[in-house]
Chains A and B, each alone.
Chain A
Amino acid sequence: MNARRKMGIAAMAAFALVLTACGGGGDNTNGSGSTTKAEFNAALGKVFNPSDKKGGTVKFADESAPDSVDPGDTYYGSQWDMIRLWGRALTMFKVAPGDASNELVGDLAEGLGEPSDNAKTWTYKLRKGLVFEDGTPITSKDVKYAVERSTSKEVHPDGPAYFDSMLAWPAGWKGAYLSKGMDTSSAIETPDDQTIVFHLKTPFAGMDYLAMTPQTIPVPKAKDTGAKYKEHVVSSGPYMFESYSDAKGYNLVRNPKWDQATDPNRKALPDRIEMSMNVNAEDIDNRILSGDLDVAVTGVGVTPATQARVLADPNLKARADNPTLGRFQYISINPTVKPFDNIECRKAVMYGMDKTAYQTAYGGPFAGGELASNLMPPVIPGQEKFDLWATPDSKGDVAKAKEALTKCGYPNGFETNMSYRTERPKEKATVEAFQQSLAKIGIKITPKNFPRKDYFGTYAGNPPYVRSHNLGLVVNSWGADWNDGFGFLSQITDSRVIRETGGSSNTSVRIPEVDKLLDAGTVELDKTKREKIWVDVDKKVMEQAVIYPGLWAKTLMVRGQNLTNVFVNDQFGMYDYLSLGKP
């Protein structure tokens, strides 16, 4: 349900290449359009209601609570969007609508990193005149300390583990708290207050992506209170905490020490930002519609009841946006479970399923998404759309499915189990849709539900459990950390991420050829060739029929009344919280 970002260590190696070729500009378009006309999708690819007027209060609400407001301990997409209000990382995605946001620019740093030693060493130069909310100057040492403390996973377990595994830490390094006083110059050096140098274990050209993560937001060592730091994060951005409560939320006010001259990316329009946490989701929708609230921070879209109301009322629909996300809803077809070890039986599922029923289970074309015919969603650069298992109107082809079943040796069908997460009614509806569709060809499905927190660790992502409990079909969902072919594909198609102890989202793809292609992609420096490789991976996986593609997810979001500068940032798949104003 939440927009938690997922990323894999393996993914990193590949971003390297991506970066080298991308440079910094390239084929971005569409960054400067704007509109004042309130209409459906007015904030997609352009700025709705542009304004530079300052003042006012923007009110956010969250149906639950974020993982943390501590920059060293967060992995939620919505939080990475939000945290830029009080924290400045070394780099950031350009604050712009549409695919213009794919470009990285310097934030604390003057620009992007300078690679040396064959991209094993990266140097960043900080801007001059940067200060924390208490007036203390921000130096490279504060950035270094922030990265070091983020590797203290016993205290900050939520954030990504890129820095832990990729920097050349000294032997026995256990994070800033347990390894206090250890010399870390092998990993990070700060020759002067303006310069920070990262040393990697192996060459990696994607360092600017890592420098974008909130873990490089500076933390003054003297003010770090470990697990309690989130109760008073020291701001380096345009806003600082006025109050914070785990239960109720927090308020942000202007940071008087923030200097616009040091920050070309932020407009900082509102005077005040209020965030309420643990608010009922229906209540959030109603309050946004009535104008009492401005933004539902999780960005997962309105509830089904509100969706029906918004789509039926032209005035409300004119306030809605319906972006396609970098998220993929799919079914893993496990070849480790009989009779799916036979590709013909897998084909029977590919042909037999009515894909439109899958879409309905997720809330239809607006809230559910676009029918997916392959893995990569359209927002991934270089994506190609193809359909190896087309059926008439995507409604399934009983004749072809039965033919495959006969070839598989089960002309009258067979029985299998299908898992889903208990807390997710849409996944349950998906299983029911499969039950109905596949019953037509004699495949009998028994639903198996598991708690979401243990889904991949203990059950559906745990290979011994999958085999012993005959989980032939697994309801699955995936979104990459940022929009990129390798970042999207590696964690769900590389067989080497599957661990016998469980925990991986990849439960069904074990294709040696795909592993080779992924490796080839990580060393291919030519952008066009590399993107072609990602498409090849996509095709190989689809040929083997080990993934049933369901939907490229979309959400239906409603713009708060009287908000200015509203646009969907493609990188986050939600409104860009840094640019919003409400004078």
Chain B
Amino acid sequence: MTDAALDPATVAPSALQRGAALARRLFRHLSFRIGFVIVALLVMVAVVGPLLHTADPTAMQMRFRFRPPSARFWMGTDALGRDILSRFVHGARLSLVIGLWVAILSGIAGTIFGVLSGYVRAIDSLVMRIMDALLAFPPILLAIGINAALGPQVHSVIIALSVSYIPRTARIVRASALVVRELDYVQAARISGASGLRIVLRHILPNSVGPLLVQLTFVFAYAILAEAALSFLGIGPPPPTPSWGNIIAEGRDYSVEAWWIMLFPGLGISLAALGMNLLGDGLRDVLDPRLKIEG
């Protein structure tokens, strides 16, 4: 993308070149590669699955109750004769959508609180005390409470989980903001008359993106697990909407005779969370080498 008149070696790399270099480094990282493959596969299942496998996930066929996995029902059927594969595919879609929304919302809200707290000294202590207090409630408990307050719907699960993870994202952004605001070039920008908004947008936000992104992949994984737990407890998206958690809850009573009902969604949850965690490990090692846990 460089201007032909300029020698490419003398100009700073374009955003595209930097992106490509980053992608190369990421794909050299083994856990990132594995995580990427797992997540990509699940995304494909969630996006393409309902188009290829068109069986209605809520259609009850009493003739076909408790069928073990077979050529016709790849993952078997449940107590109401519903096709587990089709419920699995829709559950995958729900899990990923919820995980994505929770990551986006807690990312945005965490960024706002983190920047405010890290940049506007006056409210720092108040905002962080509130975050500390929120952090004191176990996320699953906070989510149970908020979710009960909003009623059993997909969007209340998303809001409940987003609120639960805001303190974590806010802390990450605040930490970067505190470091960046003291850097010489930011001080220089301020002295040369840059507005607070400009400093936040040009300097603080770009420097927080890396650590925040790492944290958000982990939030994605937590959210998938927490949504499953909420659904399992009966406080998730309401039935008959298939979710991995409520398929397991429904299959629990038949877990010995009809093991397939709860086996596949459990594997789905584990794979999805594993994939996101591996992605996050890779991102952390590449974007934020200081946090590397490896020896």
* B partners with A: no
* Chain B residues within CB distance 8 Å of chain A: none
